[in-house]
Each structure stands twice: as C-alpha cells, then as structure tokens.
A and B are shown apart, each in its own frame.
Chain A
Amino acid sequence: MSALYIVAFITVLVFFGLMLGVAFILRRREAPRLREIPAFKRLHRAIGLAVEDGSRLHISLGRGQMLSRQSAIGYVGLSILDRIGRSTSISDRPPVATSGEGSLGILSQDSQRAAAKYLGVESDPMWGRVTGLTPLSYAAGTLSFIEEEEIGANLLIGSFGNEVALITDAAERKEGITLGGTDNLTGQAVMFAAAQEPLIGEETYAGGAYLGAGRMHTASLYAQDILRWVLIGLILIGALLKLFGVL
C-alpha cells in the first residue's frame, strides 16, 4: 500500500520536473508545433469576430465540485476565460462567464475583474454569473441566459454531465456556435453528438496552450506527451510481465 503511495509521489515529482525542464528549454528554443485541433481553430475565429463585430462570447465553466478532480477542468476554463477576457474586453461586449458552482462563480468574477483592470476598463459583476447551483438548474439557467442574450459563440469548458445537451440545443436554436469539452465521460459523449466543435478527453486540458496562455501551459503539454509514452511503455511491459508470471 505504502509502496503505491511512493510510486504516486515519484510520478508527481517526475511530472513536476518535466514541466519545469521543458519550460526552461522553451525559453531558448522555439516550441515544436502542436497538432491542429479544429475546435481551437474555430475558437480563434470566434474571438476575432467577438472583437470585430462586438458579438458576445459566452464561456460556461460548468458545475464541477471543487476538492475533486473536477476542479482541474474548472481551472483550465478559468485560464481560458482570463486569456479571452484580456483579448476581447476591448470590444464593447466583453465575454460573460456562467458557472454552476459557488467558488467557480467567485473565481470567474475575480478573473473578469483582473482582465478589466489589465485593460483599464470598468468591470461589471454581471460578467461572471452563477446561473444555478445543481447540475440541471445550472443547465436551465445557462439555457435561458443563451435565449435572452445575443451570444456569438458559446465555449463550454468545465465539468458538465448529460445536461449539457440542453445548453448546446439552446445555442443551436439561436444559431450560435458551440464548442468545448468536459472531463465527465457521459458529458463528452453527449457533447460529441450535440456540440458543433467538441473537444475529446485530454484535448480540453490543452486549451491554455492552444490559446497562448503562457509558456507553462505549453510546457505541461509536452510533459504530458512524454509521460504518455512512458505510461504506454510501462503498461506494455507490465502486461507482458504479468502474462509470463514474472510480476
């Protein structure tokens, strides 16, 4: 049991070291190109449009429980919100963030406030809203928010369950673009069918790197790629050792 904990600790330390190492290398060398993900390509266009024609961008941060794995996707959503907020606040209609969890709502308001301060504009509490506090009431609140506001694009990055279909459907009724991803497996399955540009699994966590949120985001992506192959190798070797009864 304790050996398992040690292995886990070493894994985290290795990941930590890899991220720092890659970040250090990226200071001097140009980062290798990342594979193209259509959703992020579309998002870049949507951000451009939001700045040009003043259409509103809606970023939905989900309703993931903090103090769980779900909080991580919330932080990814927040870093994307921050990045987009700083780039689109120059338009007369800055992005609006909706969330279905109390602390996420507070953090989204903080992020909006920071973006507004960075751009020297007045922040508005309405830019970061809690639209509901249970999964379906959150979906219902976001649904009516989309119906009431003039939204150009809806970016759904956070923890969503099957209720996300109601949000994407409302966006489609308003002929808005919906793109995004979630950590929740059923949410991913539904989003794959219902969203125009779905992000699958791990892709969602790469949002910061694809939007240029900072070197550490890119570094963590390369660290993930390295560990991915280490993991693949370990599983293969472990399976063979198990098969031959060595392990």
Chain B
Amino acid sequence: MKNPIYAAVAIGVGLVVLVGYFLQIDLLVNLRIILLNWATILIAVALLVGVVNLFTVHWRKLSTDQPDKINSIALLVGLTITLAVSGWFGPTTPISLWIFNYIQIPVEASLMALLSVVLIYAGVRLLRRKPNLLTITFIATAVVILLMSGHLFGIDIPGLAALRIWIGKVPAVAGARGILLGVSLGIIAAGLRILMGADRPYGEN
C-alpha cells in the first residue's frame, strides 16, 4: 500500500519553493528561504549518511571475508584516521593539511594525470569506432585547439591563434548554448514530473 503522505510532502514543499522563486511576495520568498535552508542542512546530513553507507559497505566486505578485503581495510583506515584527526583538530589545521597535501592531493592529482593518457587513447580510437562527420569535426577541432593552446615551440602560424579564439567565441559558444537550452528543457520536464507525482524516487511504503 503506497503512502500518499510522502508524495503530498514532496509536491507541497516543491510547489511552495517553486512559486517562491517566481512570485516576489514576501511571505512566499521568506518561506522559500527557510525551506531551502532546512534542505541545505539535510543535504549535508545526507552526505554523512553517505559516509556511513560507504563505511558499512566496506565493513560488510571485511566481515564476510571477501578476497579484496585489503582494499576495504585501506578505505576504512583512511576514513577513520582522517575523520578522527580532522574532526577533532579541525579540517584546516596543520595536521589535517598534512594528510591533505601528502595523501589526497598526490593521489587525486595523479588520477587527473592518468586522465591525459586515457583521453589521448580515447581520441585515437574514436575515428575507428565512429567514423562519421561528427567524429571528424570533433577530432579536427580538438587537434587545432590543442596545437594552439601551447607555445608550438615559438613557431607562429599566422591565423591559427586567431582561429582558436574565434572557435572559442563563435561556433563553440553556439553549440554550447544549443545544448544548454535543450538541457534546460529536459531539467524542467524532469522537475515537473516530480512535482506532478509522476516520478516518486523517495520510498513510498
């Protein structure tokens, strides 16, 4: 048996906030600000629930003695120590910054560095995978922009620098604007489905 209360809450609160966005009536605007404030706190709490979920998933892996439990140990150790240290001393104290500078930054920056190889690999295989007008234009643009992003060893190819700026100012903007407008239509539709009660991602029972 579905419980209509949750749908009523979602729709009611959503409509109040939505109308509060558009109609600049003090009562509605203030109500919107309060509701949004509560929501921002809840989103932060949800992040903590997410941390607990992460912890329990790996704790369960550990307790069920799965083959990759060493990974779970690493995660749990990292999470516990960081949370304990930065939670107790504060996230911006020198000891927390030490963990941040020497563990998080090196790993995360290295993952970003891996991305450079992954992206070239994807670019190399793209033409074989999808040999069409879209791909050829994509590759041609990417190559021109890449060439003009660097110093090209001091060689100045006339017009190429201007071409890079023009692509960034005109056709790239046109495509981006078209995509953003289309996406905004999609966002409105998805949001309205929630406010109509057609989509109910929250549990209902």
* A/B touching: CB–CB < 8 A: yes
- Residues B22 and A136 in contact, CB atoms below 8 Å apart: no
Residues of chain A contacted by B108 (CB below 8 angstroms) = 136-137
Is chain B's binding surface mostly helix, strand, loop or mixed? helix
Chain B, Cβ-Cβ closest to A188: B179
Cα A231 to Cα B53 with chains together (Å)? 43
Number of A-B contacts (CB under 8 A): 196
Q: How far is the CB of B182 from chain A (nearest CB, A)?
A: 4
Chain A, Cβ-Cβ closest to B179: A201
Q: A19-B196, A72-B190, A79-B201 are in contact. Are A166 and B185 (CB under 8 A)?
A: no
Is chain A's binding surface mostly helix, strand, loop or mixed? helix
Chain B, Cβ-Cβ closest to A170: B118
Residues of chain B contacted by A204 (CB below 8 angstroms) = 186
Q: How far is the CB of A214 from chain B (nearest CB, A)?
A: 6
Chain A, Cβ-Cβ closest to B64: A126
Chain A, Cβ-Cβ closest to B49: A102
Q: How many residues on B have C-beta within 8 angstroms of the other chain's C-beta atoms?
A: 64
Interface string of B13-24 (1 = CB under 8 A from A): 000001101111
Q: How far is the CB of B46 from chain A (nearest CB, A)?
A: 4
Q: B residues 128-160 with Cβ under 8 Å of A?
A: 129, 138
Interface string of A208-245 (1 = CB under 8 A from B): 10000010110011011001100100000000000000
- Residues B185 and A228 in contact, CB atoms below 8 Å apart: yes
Q: A19-B196, A67-B39 are in contact. Are A133 and B47 (CB under 8 A)?
A: yes
Q: A105-B50, A125-B56 are in contact. Are A227 and B205 (CB under 8 A)?
A: no
Chain A, Cβ-Cβ closest to B61: A126
Decide yes or no whether B27 CB sits under 8 A from chain A.
no
Chain B, Cβ-Cβ closest to A182: B183
Cα A221 to Cα B39 with chains together (Å)? 29
Cα A181 to Cα B185 with chains together (Å)? 16
Residues of chain A contacted by B205 (CB below 8 angstroms) = 114, 117
Query: Interface size bucket, A side?
Result: 35 or more
The stretch from A1-9, A27-35, A46-54 touching chain B is A1-9
Residues of chain A contacted by B204 (CB below 8 angstroms) = 114
Residues of chain B contacted by A60 (CB below 8 angstroms) = none
Cα A194 to Cα B57 with chains together (Å)? 29
Contact of B36 among A67, A111, A217 (CB under 8 A): A67
Residues of chain B contacted by A107 (CB below 8 angstroms) = 201-202
Residues of chain A contacted by B176 (CB below 8 angstroms) = 185
Contact of A75 among B45, B178, B194 (CB under 8 A): B194
**12 A–B pairs (Cβ distance < 8 Å), ordered by A:** A105-B49, A114-B205, A130-B51, A136-B111, A163-B111, A166-B118, A193-B123, A200-B179, A205-B183, A205-B187, A205-B190, A220-B192
